[in-house]
Amino acid sequence: MTDNAPQSISLTGKVVAVTGASGALGRALIEELSVRDAKILAITTNLTTIFPDGVTVLAWQLGSEAELLPHLQEVDILIINHGINVYGDRSFSAISKSFEVNTFSALRLAEIFFSTVADAKNRSTKELWVNTSEAEVNPALSPLYELSKRTLGDSMTLLRLDAPCIVRKLILGPFKSQLNPYGVMSAPWVARAIIFLAQRDVRNIIVTINPLTYLLFPIKEFCQSWYFKLFTKHGNIA
């Protein structure tokens, strides 16, 4: 099937890498991207998952992000999608795990991906999509999930000021998955909405049933972006 969405960015032939590939949203995104004839790289910590034909599977572990560099050189779009929710656990290990998985590994991957943006062509064709959460602006009834996702979201707002390529944030509401068994939306529906909005070049992709997020997130992102711009200096990330 060809990508024939009117006036939309084509995904046909693009190399798209997805972390958290074996999870509910990872699998749903891979399905949607396959339909649009993207070349998919499933980055996973779970090698027992069976992916559709044509999907290239790449194993990784937390802390071994640098080993992905040679593969990310060839990637047009990296979707940082992996994540965990430790729910009510407030131990030191839960704090460490939440930030390591949700925040620091995502930032390491972003840094490595930015380093692959080598020339002017890359600047306009490469994209980083980061799945933070509507927990950036609303409670998720899981404090450590909120803390770690907000830190990721805020850090991406900061890095986006000097990013060498397009950066999209995915601001998602509750959908059903292992991470959130009570989610009211379905992962395939959320994935379809994400791709639809990304193809229309939306940079802050909000998909949720909570109307407050549509109001609060753009205000938060605008104000914080200006605050960061005023009180920080140009970085050296490319």
Ligand X SMILES: NC(=O)c1ccc[n+]([C@@H]2O[C@H](COP(=O)([O-])OP(=O)(O)OC[C@H]3O[C@@H](n4cnc5c(N)ncnc54)[C@H](OP(=O)(O)O)[C@@H]3O)[C@@H](O)[C@H]2O)c1
List, by residue number, the catalytic residues: 145
d(CA 172, CA 186): 11
In the complex, residue closest to ligand X by CB:
23
Looking at the Cβ atoms of 3 and 154, the one nearer to ligand X is 154
8 A C-beta contact, residue 98 and residue 148: yes
| Residue numbers at the binding site for ligand X (CB under 6 A) | 20-26, 44-46, 62, 81-84, 101, 131, 133, 172, 174-175, 177-180, 183, 187
Tokens at 21, concatenated: 């590939």
Looking at the Cβ atoms of 34 and 81, the one nearer to ligand X is 81
Looking at the Cβ atoms of 117 and 137, the one nearer to ligand X is 137
- Long-range pairs, 179-182, Cβ under 8 A, ≥24: 179/23, 179/24, 179/83, 179/84, 179/85, 180/85
Q: On the CB side of 137, how many CA atoms lie within 13 Å of its CA?
A: 22
Give me the least distance between CB of 19 and ligand X, in Å please: 7
| N-to-C CA span, the chain | 36
Looking at the Cβ atoms of 130 and 159, the one nearer to ligand X is 130
Give me the least distance between CB of 180 and ligand X, in Å please: 3
